[in-house]
Homo-oligomer: A and B are copies of this chain.
Amino acid sequence: MANSKFEYVKQFEQPDNLLPNTWVVVRVDGRGFTKFAYKYGFEKPNDKRALELMNAAARAVMAELPDITIAYGVSDEYSFVFHKTCSLFERRSSKLVSTIASTFTAYYVYFWSTYFPDTPLSPPLPSFDGRAVCYPAVQNLRDYMSWRQVDCHINNLYNTTFWALISLGGMDATEAEKTLKGTYAADKNEILFSRFGINYNNESEMCKKGSVVFRDYELVEPGALNITTEVDSLPEPVEQSKTQAENDRKRRAKARIVVEHLDIIKDEFWDQRPWLLSNKPGKIPKEPKVD
């Protein structure tokens, strides 16, 4: 039985390769996580187990896909950044997005029992949708990352105050919402401090800043070079010798993938870690920190 009669259907596949020389950000978002969080009794405003499970899944994704240079997560979302020279799957959007969403989900389900040992998963299971966006310039990429981190800050300050009003202040949701309507950051800080003695600055860094995941090398003295400018002006993947590519691969494999809670808006973060934008592995620290 020859298959040629039906093979014409392959013509309906439409290419979706992303524009070369642009940064590709794949973001996954939890589907229906409000309901999901309720089902498994996530703590409010932040459930540390849930955030750490997200981070564990993100780390595993990065370990399986070395083309990812950095990832940033907050709440039930995670953004993965492919370097602008990346040619994985010929940059086909649906392959990149589905692979990330699938791998992330696999680890989320797999690690669940580690972080929630007492509440086993049951259908409907957690799942994540995803999308890919291209950013042409380093500044566009950094502005995307900043946008997510500012969003984290705004939401976390709001949620922290909202839940303080409820759990410590005895309000119901409607009253708390009304109290916060039209308030600025300073007002919320003030409410937390004056009513509940909470200094927002002392809240956990993971909740305030979100989580950044990257391969860790020795920090570089800032100011040594302008990494943004250098990287933007690279028109295409630099042809590497096989030896060089192999060396890079090995160094990348040796590097620890860390989860940190740092300010990624300021230049310092990027200047000290030029490998995030250059995609050239840095120096492996002599005494790796204990995991």
User: Which residues does A use to contact B, with CB under 8 Å?
Assistant: 1-3, 5-9, 11-17, 19-22, 28, 31, 60, 63-64, 84, 89, 92-95, 97-99, 101-110, 121, 123-140, 143-144, 146-147, 150-151, 153-154, 185, 228-229, 232-236
Asked whether B103 lies within 8 Å of A12 as measured between CB atoms, the reply is no
A–B Cβ pairs within 8 angstroms, 14 of them = A1-B153, A6-B144, A12-B20, A16-B16, A19-B134, A19-B136, A21-B135, A63-B123, A64-B124, A94-B129, A99-B127, A107-B125, A109-B109, A229-B233
Asked whether A94 lies within 8 Å of B125 as measured between CB atoms, the reply is no
**In the assembled complex, which residues on chain B have CB atoms less than 8 Å from the CB atom of A1?**
150, 153-154, 185
Asked whether B233 lies within 8 Å of A129 as measured between CB atoms, the reply is no
**Measured CA separation A138–B134 after assembly (Å):** 17
Asked whether B125 lies within 8 Å of A110 as measured between CB atoms, the reply is yes
Q: Which of A14, A15, A22, A126 has the most CB of B within 10 A?
A: A14
**In the assembled complex, which residues on chain B have CB atoms less than 8 Å from the CB atom of A60?**
123, 125
**In the assembled complex, which residues on chain B have CB atoms less than 8 Å from the CB atom of A107?**
123, 125
